[in-house]
Copies of this chain bind each other. A is one copy, B any other.
């Protein structure tokens, strides 16, 4: 099963920045295109005070810093140039919804969504929405956040599809800001089913696609969780993708590119579970020949070998 979509992680909270400008991003879209990536998903348009585009709403309301470059425009331009779909990720305040102010998180986002659609909605590559408030459990308020934001996205955009990418509360669901890589206990299949059954029932119609992150459970548990997620999605009429993480959650350095053998194992498991599409978090740091991490260059080569693809070569400097 090949990866045909990737997140774009330009406002990161735990992945170091690559400091790319338009030229470097153009090269990376070429490298993506060469292996069949047709969908790029902005992980979030803003996080706390950082933004990907000069949002008036966020400057006024959240005191966000005007960015040196309009990345939404850049990514749309490159998606258009290379024939890809661009999906837009919502703003993550990093605080309201963690402090019980769900209404606040939604209110800001509804205004951001209107602003974004007015600015970029006419762009031919604008093809979908990503609801960036990521959870693993039926956390208070999340159904309402997804449902209200998802519905608004669809209403203003002529029903463009909406995507979420939750994680599984597995043994590896630990903070990136600690040396530990695992916790004592992960969620059981039964608990996971109970909670996500309830969430999906509440968001069906507002959220079209669910793409669970595949890195938080043990490798030998993954097949079961993939099948369960597929069954849950079908039960509620959602489409089911896999978010096959291309970074390694087992190492003290948080995070290096994943070992190729692990990624292959996860993609094979996703294929067997009948996932519709595989996306990854994310190509540019962890499997790109342009990455600041050299292990990513080798991962790209291994991936190309596996699928008989001609690897794209960065131009000689």
The segment from A117-125, A133-141, A151-159, A175-183 that touches chain B is A175-183
Task: Tell me whether chain A's interface is mostly helix, strand or loop, or mixed.
Answer: loop
Interface size class of A (residues with CB under 8 A): 35 or more
In whole angstroms, how far apart are the Cα atoms of A248 and B219 in the complex?
Answer: 30
Copies per assembly: 3
Q: With A219-B65, A292-B298, A294-B292 in contact, do A16 and B253 touch (Cβ < 8 Å)?
A: yes
Note all chain B residues with C-beta closer than 8 A to A313: 317
Note all chain B residues with C-beta closer than 8 A to A257: 16-17, 19
The segment from A80-88, A208-216, A299-307 that touches chain B is A299-307
Note all chain B residues with C-beta closer than 8 A to A317: 313
- B20, B176, B179, B298: the one within 8 Å of A175 (CB): B179
Q: Check: A128 CB closer than 8 A to any chain B CB.
A: no
Note all chain B residues with C-beta closer than 8 A to A102: none
Give the distance to chain B from A153, nearest Cβ to Cβ, in Å.
27
Interface residues, chain A, CB within 8 Å of chain B?
A: 13-21, 24, 49-50, 63, 65, 67-68, 175-181, 219-220, 248, 250-254, 256-261, 264-265, 291-295, 298-299, 301-302, 305-306, 313, 317
